[in-house]
Amino acid sequence: MMTFDTILSRLVSVVGIATGAAYIPQASRIWKRRSSDDVSIVTYTLFLGGQLIYLVYGIRIQQWPLIIGMAANIAGSIAVIGSALRFRGR
């Protein structure tokens, strides 16, 4: 039988990956429209800053669920920021 902590850590990993995947529709929309004029790069950059802090914290306390989740979120933020910069002002 799995303990509560085991279930919780797995759930944190799944939720972290799912929230990282939540950035895909925004990045995809930018690429389809070839425009990012309605996307706030500042907002996504602030998200990225917070995610980096959480990633460092997860590494520091050696918590893989947090590391996995933040890595997925960082990838999503970078995808949106990169897409937005690529198509800014076109």
Give tens-digit pLDDT for 28-85: 999 999 999 999 999 999 999 999 999 999 999 999 999 999 999 999 999 999 999 9
The CATH code of domain 12-86 reads 1.20.1280.290
What is the pTM for the complete model shown? 0.90
User: What ranges do the domains of the chain cover?
Assistant: 12-86
Query: Rounded to whole angstroms, what are the CA distances from 7 to 11, 17, 53?
Result: 6, 16, 25
Q: Which residue's structure tokens are 């995808």?
A: 79
What CA–CA distance (Å, rounded) separates 68 from 13? 6
Burial 54-72 (b: 16+ CB within 10 A, else e): bbeebeeeeeebbbbbbbb
Query: Rounded to whole angstroms, what are the CA distances from 88 to 41, 46, 78, 79?
Result: 10, 18, 15, 14
